[in-house]
C-alpha cells in the first residue's frame, strides 16, 4: 500500500461519514472519561500481568483515544491511515478485555463472567467499524489485488 492509498480525498458515503464521526466522538468521549470520571472503572481493564502502572496505563490510553477520536473527525483527508491506526489500537487493547474476563475484574457493569465474555465480541465489531467507516477495508482490498 502506498501513500496515495492512505490519503484518499474523494468523498465518502453519508453512512460511512456518520460511522466515522460517531466512532471518533465516542473514542474522544471515552478518552475524556479515562482522564476524569471513570478512571477507576478503566483500571479494571488493565491486566495484572501488564508491566505498566494501572493508572498510568489508563491515563495514557485516554490521551491516545482522544487523539484518535479527534483524528477520525478532523482528518478526513487521511481517513484511511487513521482508520488503520484506530483498528490497530482496538486490537492492541483487546488483551485488556481478555484480562478483565480471565481475572474476573468488575468494571462498567461487567460483573459476571458471562457479561465479560460477551463484551469480548464487541472489539472485533469496533475494528470492523474503524476499517469500514474510513474506507480502509476498500484500500486494503485494492492493495491486496496488486
pLDDT tens digits along 53-101: 999 999 999 999 999 999 999 998 899 999 999 999 999 999 999 999 9
Q: Give the per-residue pLDDT at 85.
A: 98
Q: Give the per-residue pLDDT at 120.
A: 96
pTM of the shown model? 0.90
Please check whether residue 20 is in contact with residue 133, taking contact to mean a CB–CB distance below 8 angstroms: yes
Query: To which H or E segment does residue 116 belong?
Result: helix 113-119
pLDDT tens digits along 7-60: 555 567 999 999 999 999 999 999 999 999 999 999 988 999 999 999 999 999
How far is Cα 106 from Cα 59, in angstroms, rounded to an integer? 19
Q: DSSP E strands: which ranges in the chain?
A: none
Amino acid at each position: 500500500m502506498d501513500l496515495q492509498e492512505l490519503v484518499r480525498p474523494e468523498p465518502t458515503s453519508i453512512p460511512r461519514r456518520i460511522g466515522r464521526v460517531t466512532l471518533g466522538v465516542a473514542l474522544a468521549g471515552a478518552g475524556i472519561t479515562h482522564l476524569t470520571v471513570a478512571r477507576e472503572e478503566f483500571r479494571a481493564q488493565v491486566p495484572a500481568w501488564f508491566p505498566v502502572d494501572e493508572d498510568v496505563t489508563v491515563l495514557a490510553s485516554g490521551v491516545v483515544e482522544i487523539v484518535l477520536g479527534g483524528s477520525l473527525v478532523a482528518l478526513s483527508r487521511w481517513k484511511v491511515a487513521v482508520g488503520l491506526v484506530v483498528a490497530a489500537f482496538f486490537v492492541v487493547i483487546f488483551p485488556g478485555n481478555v484480562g478483565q474476563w480471565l481475572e474476573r475484574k468488575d468494571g462498567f457493569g461487567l460483573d459476571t463472567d458471562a457479561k465479560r465474555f460477551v463484551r469480548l465480541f464487541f472489539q472485533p465489531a469496533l475494528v470492523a467499524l474503524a476499517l469500514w467507516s474510513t474506507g480502509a477495508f476498500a484500500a486494503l482490498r485494492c492493495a491486496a489485488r496488486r
